[in-house]
Every structure is written in structure tokens, then in C-alpha cells.
Amino acid sequence: MGIFQWLNDQLLKMQWLSDLVGILVRDVFGLDLASRVGGSIHFFIYDVIKIFILLSVLIFSISYVQSFFPPERTKKILGRFDGITANILAALLGTITPFCSCSSIPLFIGFTGSGLPLGVTFSFLISSPLVDLASIILLASIFNWKIAIAYVVVGLILAVVGGTFIGKAHLEDQVESFVFGSPTIELEEAELTRRDRVDYAVDQVKEVVQKVWLYVLLGVGIGAAIHNWIPESVITALLGQDKWYSVLVATFVGVPMYADIFGTLPISEALVAKGVGLGTVLSFMMGVTALSLPSMVMLKQVVKLKLLGLFFGIVAVGIIIIGYVFNFLGPIFM
């Protein structure tokens, strides 16, 4: 247990990096780490470097594995199953795609146009931005393994249940006609060499970092401000665990925002440190990643208002329920 804790602290939480940044801030910048300015600078430098190191390593590893599952192969795999099994498989496949909600929509179009059931493709669409393998490691690096695994489990459950409800509603007529008319070409799956897979993984790291770097900097900056400048009394007055509406506020505050989970983690870390309930924080993260306004605007180009409203309603209700449950069970995970 001692060795595991040491590995967790040094490899995931990167305590060595925190110590080095502490030396930089204290001895080079001449700032007191206990001061607001010193604490903010330490929080910002440490979290930015840690997130980008973990992000690069994880996206490379995930993308290398993902190179064995191109879209054509994924469609073939999903096409072999039906019912709840297909929804579960679609949600699980969504975890190996390091995409934001907007990036997942083209795949949603391709899957739906190729004839996969609507509910199955929505399970993928919910899971892909909400849960990925990188989020497990990043959550564990900031919080702990219990919270990381719990987040992934409830995210997958939400994807499966949401997709199943949408499938039972039989709203195929609410999908824009061009989606079903999109030409699909069956291509031979290319045999990739190890070098090809490494190049693909490197390209994915570059692409993901280019997409998320600004959100990570903004998220860490906001997290540093919350952690060091906003009094705990102010945070708890709005989002404290004793406030029945905190989960509702956190869920819908995230809707106008657009960020990956990587940008929301530093904010969530700071909120938990200020006494905000675990469920409230998870609701905020899920609201940002699954219900962001830009992704809803893009999805509206693909589906009609009735189906869009059902999708938003099911996911929002699911996130709110998850928030209240985790606020109640929070002490178990902290």
C-alpha cells in the first residue's frame, strides 16, 4: 500500500513537480507560497505543467490503441449487436475517443448514416465527450481513484440510459434527411505499421493540445483565482452542500461554456477545496462537457428541435440526479 501511494503521489499527482515549482516561486521569484500571489502562481504553473504532461502521455497511449479501431471497424463492431448490449458497447467505445462534443458529431453523422440505431449512436455521442480514459487518470491525479472511477461509471450509465430512452422514443424522423442520405464508402482497412501508429498518436497529441491549450490555461487561471482569492464563505454561500439549488446552478452554469474536461478539472479542484459538494462539482463538469451551447448549436444542424430537446432534457436530468446522489454520498469518496 505504501508503494502504491508513493507511485500515485509521484507519477499522477507529481509531488516532485509541486516541490520544484515551490522552489521556483519561493527562491527565484521571492514569493511566499502562503500568500495569495505566491499561492496563485504556484497553483497555475504546477497545474498547467502537470495537466499537459499527463495529457500528452495519455492521448498518445489512447490514440495508439485507437489506431486499431478506425471508424469503419467501429461501425462493423457496433453493427453486430442490438438492444442494451449495443448501447453499452457504444458507450464504452466512446471512452477511447478523446473528442470534445463538437468533434464527436461528425462521427455521430457517419454512424447514423450507415444505419446504426439512433439510440446506439446517441449513447456514443453522450459518452465520447463526457468520459474518456484520460479523464480517469486526470481525475485520479487531482482527487483520488474512488472519485475517478465513480465519475466514469456514472458517465457510462448516463450514456447507456440516455441512448436507450432516445432509442425507445423512435424519433428517426427527427434526424435531418441529409444524414441518412450521406454517402458511405466501405474502404479496405489499411494495415498500419508500428511507425504509422506512432505517427498517428503523435498527430493526435498535437491536435488535442492545439484544441484544448487555451481552455486549460483559462481553467487553471480560474481555479487559481478561486483557490487563492475568493473567500470560502462566498463560494459556500452560493454552492455550499447545504444549498438545495447548488446542483441546479452548477449544471446550467456550465451550459454557456465550451471546454473539455481538461479545462474544467482545475476549477473543480479549487471548488472542492473551498467546500463545494462533490456532486455539485461533478454536475458542473458534466454540464460543461455534455451540454455546452456550441455543441447544442452544432447538433441542431443534424437533428430537429424535438429530438434535440429530448436529448438535452434526458442528459440534464441525469446530471442533476447524479449531482444530488454524489452530494449525499460525498463523504464515502473523499
In this prediction, residue 280 carries a pLDDT of: 92
In this prediction, residue 187 carries a pLDDT of: 44
Distance separating alpha carbons of residues 330 and 324, to the nearest angstrom: 10
DSSP-assigned letter for residue 182: S
SS3 68: coil
In this prediction, residue 77 carries a pLDDT of: 74
In this prediction, residue 162 carries a pLDDT of: 94
Distance separating alpha carbons of residues 260 and 134, to the nearest angstrom: 11
Q: Which of 321, 325, 315 is nearest to 287 (CA)?
A: 315
Distance separating alpha carbons of residues 144 and 175, to the nearest angstrom: 40
SS3 276: strand
In this prediction, residue 49 carries a pLDDT of: 93
In this prediction, residue 35 carries a pLDDT of: 93
In this prediction, residue 185 carries a pLDDT of: 44
User: What one-letter code names the amino acid at 311?
Assistant: F
Mean pLDDT, contiguous 10-residue spans, the chain (334 residues): 70 87 94 92 92 85 76 71 86 70 68 83 86 77 85 91 93 84 51 85 86 85 88 80 86 73 81 88 86 80 91 93 89 74
- In this prediction the pTM is 0.78
